[in-house]
Amino acid sequence: MQDASQCNHRIFGHRSFRLGQEKVVEAALSLRDVFVLMPTGGGKSLCYQLPACLTPGITVVFSPLLSLIQDQVEGLRENGVDAAQLTSHQDYETEGREIMDRLYHLPAHGSLKLLYITPEKFARSDAMVKCLQRLKDRGLLARFVIDEAHCISQWGHDFRPDYLMLRSIRDKFPSIPIMALTATANQRLLEDAT
């Protein structure tokens, strides 16, 4: 965890961890599945961003909101972390094709560390799933992160059914660790997320 503390300071500028962060980071670095329940503003993003910086390959983050994805990617880039996004709102011919090419030629170190996608991109893009499978086969798929995991229950049953499709991650990628993070959890979410 000394490397994690040093990386936390060097990349993110934090002199210490907030309550609960260190245990989550340790569990992630141990390649365990993790469910994180932290209050809004509690530092959930660091719980997956820091392990992504410390492990080979790429961490794939599922996020429900385009503005949140853009903020996360911009913030990481400002801190010197290579991050990208693939959403249905991008022009594939310009931005999307370049990112897919980077994924297909991804080295273990010194390249793209976090990829943010929407659940819809995963559920509706065979090319995306094939790319992730190729990364897994090359040992370069570090973990999956489901940010705002409460959306599985609150939105998944209604107007965001593709959130429920994230359950298939375990079937398609049984050896890849999964981290789910939320600020709110009820019994339905715990049932849906497991």
Q: How many domains does the chain have?
A: 1
Query: What's residue 183's pLDDT?
Result: 84
What is d(CA 83, CA 59) in angstroms, rounded to the nearest whole number? 10
- The boundaries of the domain holding residue 8 are 2-193
Segments in the chain forming alpha helices (H): 2-12, 21-29, 44-54, 66-78, 97-104, 119-124, 126-137, 151-154, 168-172, 187-193
Q: Could you tell me the pLDDT band of residue 191, with boundaries at 50, 70 and 90?
A: low
CATH number at residue 178: 3.40.50.300
pLDDT reading at 6 higher than 90? yes
Residues in Cβ contact with 41 at an 8 Å cutoff, skipping those fewer than 6 apart: none
Q: Which residues pair with 35 in a beta bridge?
A: 180
What is d(CA 190, CA 194) in angstroms, rounded to the nearest whole number? 6
Radius of gyration of the chain (CA): 16
Q: What value does the mean pLDDT of the chain take?
A: 87
Between 129 and 150, residue with greater pLDDT? 129
* Whether the model pTM is above 0.85: yes
pLDDT reading at 181 higher than 50? yes
Query: What's residue 67's pLDDT?
Result: 87
Query: What's residue 122's pLDDT?
Result: 87
pLDDT reading at 40 higher than 70? yes
Q: Could you tell me the pLDDT band of residue 188, with boundaries at 50, 70 and 90?
A: low
Q: Yes or no: say if 57 and 140 are a contact pair by the CB < 8 Å rule.
A: yes
Q: Could you tell me the pLDDT band of residue 154, with boundaries at 50, 70 and 90?
A: low
pLDDT tens for 128-148 read: 999 999 999 999 999 999 988
